[in-house]
Structure 1
Amino acid sequence: MPIMRSLLIYSLLMTTVVVASNFLVQYPLHITLAGINLADLLTFGAFTYPIAFLITDLTNRQFGPKLARRVVFVGFIAGVLLSILLASPRIAAASGSAFLVGQLLDISVFNKLRRESWWKAPLMGSLIGSALDTVIFFSMSFAPLFGFLGVNDDFAIGTAPLFGVLAMEAPRWISWAVADFSVKMLIGIVMLVPYGALMTVVRPMPAAERAV
């Protein structure tokens, strides 16, 4: 498959995931499980966003960090522009900042570990990138400190039991952030399945492993 065609496909997939996640993060998961209201813990965006790390890692594996960064920048620009139409400007700004920093960190970690066991690079890259991504996104989206970026939904800035089960109350966005990262860790592990399955299809190009 020609390089430009592959990069176009990766870029389109990345843009789709980012825009969908920015839209879905505005919708809490209104499901009660074992007496816990998951709306206090999760949004639907938590289940789609980790796919972005899979796309980045596959691009990095096949073409190296330089072209992987290009895909990230395409996803960043297109994602922010389209998200302004589908989400609030504050969500778009927070998502763009978190996405860019988290994905670039993922690329850097992946590249350092790419010659070790096949699962280490994608797993550690996505987990470390997700941690920073989560902190940046939820802080910018919902913390009062960033109120200058726009007005929040009252539901987002209310309080809720931390983890949904503890007596300690915390701003709802903090509960979302903790639960969101937990889901990202879980899905990061699950994403090893498609990554491993695609390893024989998405083979590194000769220059990929020499790239820095």
Structure 2
Amino acid sequence: MLDSGVDRVPVSRPGFFSRLATTLARLVVPVVALCLVLGVAFLLRDMPMQEARHLSVIDPRLDTGDWLTWGLVVLPAVFFVLNLTSRRYGAALTLTATFISWLLIGGAVGWAVHEGIVANFATEIAPYPEAAALVGALATAQLVNVLTFDWMRGIPWWKAPFLAALIGGVAFSAAFNMRPTALWDDGMVARLIVESGLYFSWALLQLLPTGMMRRTIRPLPGFGGA
């Protein structure tokens, strides 16, 4: 038994400002990475992926034409960033990073329009309904991705990142392509098939760097994972 006469040293807990500083420091890399991926995807939005046109050999309806751009191909990297952040810090901080990245992007676009750098939003960026649909679909997909990862995290290690990236990508494709202003025809069905294949491929390929970084990016105490 412990000697009742021995004084116990109270354990000091980090104060509010200390916890705030730690959280802000943890947010820097995910926020920068998310903004970078979205920025690159935006810059490549008008560059068609010519290599995918051979899909029309399989079925003429799978002809990607000009709609499959390198911007769309790069976009699923968002889910890779979210997966690594969720693995390390959990869902709450990952969702916070997502929210802050959207605030920064929205602020940057608003500033560019106000300063005249972007003279006409509808022609230089996207028509307002399409832009709203894109942001809404991607934000929804990010939420689905983070919640799926948090739900599936554990053993085996690959299950959470694979399913989170796949389900998040399919959610984005469905939400954006099934918007009220979209035209539903055979071409839309083919587009959904091609995009589903794209997100499945991304979900598989991102397991390689994720597996290589498992020992470097370990879950913090309190978050399960292998």
TM range (shorter): 0.7 to 0.9
> How big is each residue's C-alpha offset from its partner over 1:102-149, in whole Å with a ceiling of 9 and x where there is no partner?
111111111111122000000011111111111112233xxxx327xx
Q: CA–CA distance in 2 between the matches of 1:34 and 1:133?
A: 22
Structure 2 vs 1, CA of residues 41 and 92 (structure 1 numbering), >3 Å: closer, same or farther?
A: closer
2:64, 2:191 within 8 Å by CA — same for their partners in 1?
no
Structure 2 vs 1, CA of residues 124 and 113 (structure 1 numbering), >3 Å: closer, same or farther?
A: same
1:10 aligns with 2:30: yes
Q: Which of 7, 16, 19 in structure 1 is aligned with 2:39?
A: 19
Matched length? 185
> Superposed, which structure 2 residues align to 1:155-194 within 5 Å?
170-171=186-187, 173-194=188-209
Structure 2 vs 1, CA of residues 23 and 97 (structure 1 numbering), >3 Å: closer, same or farther?
A: farther
Structure 2 vs 1, CA of residues 76 and 21 (structure 1 numbering), >3 Å: closer, same or farther?
A: same
Q: Which of 129, 137, 142 in structure 2 is aligned with 1:98?
A: 137
Q: CA–CA distance in 2 between the matches of 1:20 and 1:83?
A: 15
Segments of 5+ residues of structure 2 without an aligned counterpart are: 1-21, 58-62, 111-117, 119-123
1:49 aligns with 2:70: no
> Superposed, which structure 2 residues align to 1:48-197 within 5 Å?
48-80=74-106, 82=108, 87-88=125-126, 89-140=128-179, 145-146=180-181, 170-171=186-187, 173-197=188-212
Greater relative CO, 1 or 2 (CA 8 Å, sep 6+): 1
1:193 CA displacement: 0.6
> How big is each residue's C-alpha offset from its partner over 1:50-98, in whole Å with a ceiling of 9 and x where there is no partner?
1111110111111111001111112333345556856213343122111
Name whichever of 47-56 and 17-26 sits farther off: 17-26
Q: CA–CA distance in 2 between the matches of 1:78 and 1:91?
A: 20
Q: CA–CA distance in 2 between the matches of 1:67 and 1:199?
A: 19
Please tell me the residue identity of whatever aligns with 1:180: E
Please tell me the residue identity of whatever aligns with 2:35: T
Q: CA–CA distance in 1 between the matches of 2:129 and 2:212?
A: 37
More strand by share: 1
1:24 CA displacement: 3.1
Q: CA–CA distance in 2 between the matches of 1:170 and 1:83?
A: 35
Q: Which of 30, 54, 61 in structure 2 is aligned with 1:33?
A: 54
1:35 CA displacement: 6.0
Q: CA–CA distance in 2 between the matches of 1:28 and 1:133?
A: 20
Indicate the RMSD between aligned Cα atoms, in angstroms.
2.8
